[in-house]
Amino acid sequence: MSSDGKKKKSKPRYLLPKEAAEILRVRPKTLANWRWRGTGPKYRKHGGTVVYCIDDLKRYSDDDDKSHVG
């Protein structure tokens, strides 16, 4: 609990594809294509539902940093 006695609502650790796509600024269809091709961020299935761990999304985004040659 916080100092004012109220519980803080924590962010979900796992996100649905639509939520993950918003974070990565891609379409949910892009995530589906990446899953099919075996690329993109790691994902899991919870009861048949695809979910993404927010830590994996951050790691994927950080690892995908590109250097521009110009």
Angle of helix 17-24 relative to helix 54-63, nearest 10 degrees, comes to 30
Joined together, the tokens standing for residue 42 give 């790691």
**Domain spans of the chain?**
14-60
Predicted local confidence at residue 22, as pLDDT: 97
pTM: 0.75
Convert the pLDDT of each residue in 16-64 to its tens digit: 999 999 999 999 999 999 999 999 999 999 999 999 999 999 999 998 6
Predicted local confidence at residue 16, as pLDDT: 97
- In the predicted model, is pLDDT for residue 15 greater than 90? yes
